[in-house]
Amino acid sequence: MKESDGDRACVPARLAWCGHAAFVLGLLYALVSAYWAAGGTAGLDTLGGELERLARARDPLMIAMVWLIAGLKLVAAVLGPALVQSWGRRFPRWMLLTLSWGAATVLVLYGGLLVGGQRLVKTGVLEASPDMDWTAFNWHLFLWDPWFLIWGLLLGAVTWSSTRRRTERTSEMDV
């Protein structure tokens, strides 16, 4: 059965803000990555370890990877509003939902596992490495990694709502 425009209705207004908030978080994250890829150094010390060292050395492979990551973050950022704005109807719904579910899953797992593990270190359940860069660790625990988690949860909420609305409409049509 072919989808009609009515079947592709936007998510309820009470959840549409999730799509916009996911866009803002993703866009900001993409801009930070693009800044670092373009040669910016402010905040590099919050990365720590080998990432910081390679970024400061302007390692060509690292810079290429950071540009790629910035692009992927931008694509993932656009998924939120694509699910709640009428211009998103230009794309096949299955594609938007597949990409959104994939991105939300990666973001939540990545952010959640990192934050969970870091909390275990911070609370002393797991022992920290003797050469731990505590500055970078704290930036990851309190900003970078929760940011991934929150972005993923917002994108997941709007994707779930969009999927659910489609399923409900299909069920109504079967009655």
Per-residue pLDDT tens over the stretch 85-111: 999 999 999 999 999 999 999 999 999
pLDDT in tens, 8-54: 455 677 789 999 999 999 999 999 999 999 999 999 999 999 999 99
Query: Considering the domain boundaries, does residue 134 fall inside one?
Result: yes
Instruction: Note whether residue 112 is domain-resident.
Output: yes
Domain limits at 134? Answer: 14-174
Report percent pLDDT > 90 for the chain.
Answer: 83
Evaluate if residue 75 carries a pLDDT over 60.
yes
Whole-structure pTM value: 0.86
Q: How far apart are CA 5 and CA 27, in angstroms?
A: 28
Residue 8 in any domain: the answer is no
Q: Distance between CA 80 and CA 97 in Å, rounded?
A: 10
**Does a structural domain hold residue 60?**
yes
Is the dihedral angle over the CA atoms 69, 71, 73, 79 positive or is it negative?
A: negative
Q: Which residue has the higher pLDDT, 1 or 166?
A: 166
Burial of 93 (0-12, 13-18, 19+ CB in 10 A): middle
User: Count of domains in the chain?
Assistant: 1
Residue 6 within a domain: no
